[in-house]
Amino acid sequence: MERKDIPNKGVLIGKAIGIIGGLREGLDLENQAESVGELDNLYTYMMKRLAEANIKTDPKILDEVADLLRTVKDGWDAIAAPGPQF
């Protein structure tokens, strides 16, 4: 956004929306766990915010979504099964 590359901005934001959409599709919504519903809501929120960032050309929104994704990644990393101990 800061480089004013408007066409590429839309492509890259579209890719980010696609990635988050893929994460959302991977959720087991049949599982009634509260955390699954919360993740679904969070992924939906992030996709909406990315669309808003694209329309408004607002890098602060991109920063917000990046921070949320980092938090989600940290959570997944924390529950990942540890590798073999040698």
For residue range 22-62, what is the model confidence (pLDDT) as tens digits?
A: 999 999 888 778 888 899 999 999 999 999 999 999 999 99
**DSSP-derived secondary structure for 25-59:** HTS-TTS--HHHHHHHHHHHHHHHHHHHHHHHT-H
User: pTM for this one?
Assistant: 0.81
> What does the pLDDT read at residue 5?
74
Report the length, in residues, of the chain.
86
pLDDT at 81 over 70: no
Computed over its alpha carbons, how large is the radius of gyration of the chain? 15
